[in-house]
């Protein structure tokens, strides 16, 4: 299970990478392993408003469907255009080509409640 040091995480198994006022968001390696082969991803369109901790889409795998929760408050700038035709990118490259959303942050550029790589790793070990 990979947990890159340079990212931040949520307890709902999303990763967040903040560059200036834009956050990139996806799901973690732990999440994609638990889900199995991803067959469909639904994320909000550009222009949608998202709120931290609120469901903003879903990831569907062979056996199950899980909500995606927005880690931050903001406005969706871009949804990954590759994901519709190739949802398996979430499995093969969850931190890279499998990114899901880019969100322009509103309010604080340091959103609260995000976990460090170490904190997230500890959380996933507790769940086992």
Partner 1 sequence: MTTPDTASPRGTQPRETPLRSVHESLGATMTEFAGWLMPVRYRSETAEHQAVRTAAGLFDLSHMGEIAVRGPGAAAALDYALVGHLSAVPVGRARYTMICAADGGILDDLIVYRLGAEEFLVVANAANTAVVHQALAERAAGQDARVTDETDGYALIAIQGPAAAGILAQLSPADLGALKYYAGQRAAVAGREVLLARTGYTGEDGFELFTRPADAEPLWTALSDAGSGAGLRPAGLAARDTLRLEAGMPLYGNELGPDITPFDAGLGRVVKLGKPGDFVGRAALEAAAQAPPRRVLVGLRSETRRVPRHGYPVLWDGQHRGVVTSGAPSPTLGVPIAMAYVDPGVTGEPDGSRLAVDVRGRAEPARLTPLPFYHRNQDQPH
Q: How far is the CB of 37 from partner 1 (least distance, A)?
A: 5
Residue in 9, 15, 69, 95 binding partner 1, rule: CB under 8 A: 69
* 90 counts as binding partner 1 under rule CB under 8 A: no
113: CB partners within 8 A, 6+ apart: 10, 52, 53, 71
- Determine the interface stretch with partner 1 among 43-51, 61-69, 101-109, 112-120 (rule: CB under 8 A): 61-69
Q: Nearer to partner 1 by C-beta: 67 or 119?
A: 67
Q: Nearer to partner 1 by C-beta: 13 or 102?
A: 13
- In 1-128, where do the E strands start and end? 8-9, 14-19, 22-27, 38-42, 49-50, 55-61, 65-69, 74-79, 101-105
Distance of CA 62 to the CA centre of its chain: 19
Instruction: Name the residues that contact partner 1, by CB under 8 A.
Output: 12-14, 27, 30-31, 33-37, 39-40, 42, 58-60, 62-69, 91
């Amino acid at each position: 299970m990979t947990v890159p040091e340079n990212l931040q995480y949520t307890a709902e198994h999303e990763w967040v990478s903040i560059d200036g006022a834009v956050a990139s968001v996806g799901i973690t390696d732990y999440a994609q392993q638990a889900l199995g082969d991803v067959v469909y991803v639904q994320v909000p369109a550009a222009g949608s408003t998202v709120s931290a901790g609120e469901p903003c889409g879903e990831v569907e795998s062979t056996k199950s469907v899980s909500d995606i929760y927005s880690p931050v408050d903001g406005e969706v700038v871009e949804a990954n255009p590759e994901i519709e035709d190739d949802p398996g990118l979430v499995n093969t490259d969850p931190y890279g080509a499998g990114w899901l959303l880019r969100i322009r942050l509103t309010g604080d550029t340091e959103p609260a409640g995000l976990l460090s790589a170490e904190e997230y790793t500890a959380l996933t070990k507790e769940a086992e």
